[in-house]
Amino acid sequence: MFTLRNSRIVSSRTLVGSTSAQHFQCDCACEGGLSHTVNSTTDLLAILDAQTQPKPFPQVYSNRLNENLYLYNPESEAGVTLLNAVAAKVFLEFDGQRTLAEIFERLVAEDSTANFQDLLNLTSELVHNDLLYLTAEVPLPKIEPSRKLGIWLHITNQCNLRCTYCYVGKTSEAMSAETGRKILDSLLDSALQQGMNEVALKFAGGEALLEWPLVEELYYYALEKAQGTGLTIQPIILSNGTPLTPKIAQLLKQHNFQVALSLDGVGEAHNKQRPFVNGRPSFERVEEGLRLLQEYEIPFSISVVVTKQNLAQLPHLVEYLLDHQAPFTLNFFRDNPFANDGLTVGNPEMIEGLRQAYATLEANLPEYSLLGAILDRVQLEIPHRHACGAGINYVVVKHTGEVASCQMLMHRPAGKVTQSDPLTLIRQAELRNLPPAQKEGCASCRWRYVCAGGCPIVTQRTFGRYDLRSPYCNTYTALIPEVIRLEALRLLKYATIA
């Protein structure tokens, strides 16, 4: 029986206690999200009246989950919104023509106890979650330039593992402290000149923990350099986890580091892809590193690289990570000159393999959202017009002081970090990180602001052009609805909408 007062709505944005998986392994800083002006429900109630004519956003994706309806606006940061049967019935009354008074009249015909205030309350929530708009024309999403600079410090070529897909040619070379200080002088000055207020300082390699004293020294130097400027420094270290000790873990916690830990499988599935230099298995050492991160309560995320080698074992890995309460992301292998042959996964095989992993997720849904974690560069939490920050607000610096737009292009540096403003330098480099409006096959796609056409380097290496959609487009478009459905199931599991 339809009773208006029984309408319930919950979203990724509003679910109490809901958080996002931590994505500290993210290779690049996002350029900045797209969003509509978000008014509070209180503010909205002040402007809604009987003659208001709310309209549904045309780009909203919707589907049924039993008697419930879930919706997703790919141009909003609201995430997925789940409506119970009553709220779903009301939402479908918004045809873009009817006023609230007319809609209420139709509802009263089915529920004589209906209260107009209940309709106003529900409408304000639907507008707040970017499912309805109140203006005459469809509002365009705002583009918010990011004031966050991503710095990737490649401090060493040395590593104690020999991963099958790594893009780094291994040598004993490492960054000197003097070079590191000069790099930070130049980059932090550039950040201030460009109006940045936050720096994500990522230490990478090789294996960055093999140079822990240097990491610590450069972090202290960055803090000192930023003091009094308004810049905040967030240190992040990318690691295979094997060199982690209780002492280092204690220091990571003390310095407020975030950690991106690489793990590609359970047992042999990981060892096959990430062995030690001498060929011995590394899984048990990585597992010990994971235990230390959790023991010392260090914020971390697991970075999983999906290849033809480990695709079939993904469900087992996902189950393991959920059991260990370890947030993670699934990243597709990027071919490169140093990688082994035969690691690339084709679209049909990738779709089937990820569906198997998603089935495991569905049976063990975590409390945190996975909207930005389980489909490569697809980011369903924060719509964006570029797949990453490469060539925009992200700088990679080699141990030699040479700069590049992306760590995958370190072999083709754009120049020296000290020769000019580094941000200007990388924005003028060869990499063309185009928005979807300039990519063939992307401009009219519903999902253009959640995948942004995919990694530009993968596209260029596959097709010889930057202005085409990703070679993984078929995978993205097939699985985006399934990721949205998983989020709707998560909301249903952790919220009360009956």
Q: What is the CATH number of the domain that holds 391?
A: 3.20.20.70
Q: How confident is the model at residue 34 (pLDDT cuts 50, 70, 90)?
A: low
Q: What angle do CA 220, 223, 229 make, to 5 degrees?
A: 160
Is the same domain home to 136 and 173? Answer: no
Over residues 46-79, the pLDDT tens digits come to 888 999 999 999 999 999 999 999 999 999 999 9
Does residue 191 sit in the same domain as residue 126? no
Q: Are residues 55 and 133 in the same domain?
A: yes
Distance CA 149, CA 372 (A): 20
Which domain range does residue 76 map to? 4-19+34-141
How far is it, in rounded angstroms, from Cα 201 to Cα 4? 51
In terms of domains, do 211 and 179 share one?
yes
CA distance 209 to 66: 49
Residues 317 and 420 in one domain: yes
Mean pLDDT for 242-265 is: 98
Same domain (yes/no): 239, 314: yes
Query: Residues with Cβ < 8 Å from 204, sequence gap 6 or more?
Result: 152, 153, 154, 155, 237, 238, 407
Domain count, the chain: 2
119 and 61 part of one domain: yes
Shared domain check, 119 and 168: no
Same domain flag for 304 and 178? yes
User: How much is the pLDDT for 17?
Assistant: 57
Please check whether residues 136 and 274 belong to one and the same domain: no
Residue 58, domain CATH? 3.90.930.60
Q: What share of the chain is helix, strand, coil (3-state, %, to 5)?
A: 35, 15, 45
Q: Tell me the three-class secondary structure of 405-444, residue by residue.
A: CCHHHCCCCCEECCCCCHHHHHHCCCCCCCCHHHCECCCC
Give domain status of residue 406, yes or no.
Answer: yes
Please indicate, yes or no, whether residues 56 and 117 belong to a single structural domain of this protein: yes
Could you tell me if residue 135 is inside a domain? yes
Is residue 179 pLDDT above 50, yes or no? yes
Last residue of a domain, one of 141, 166, 183: 141
pTM: 0.94
pLDDT at 21: 59
- Whether 25 has a pLDDT exceeding 50, the answer reads no
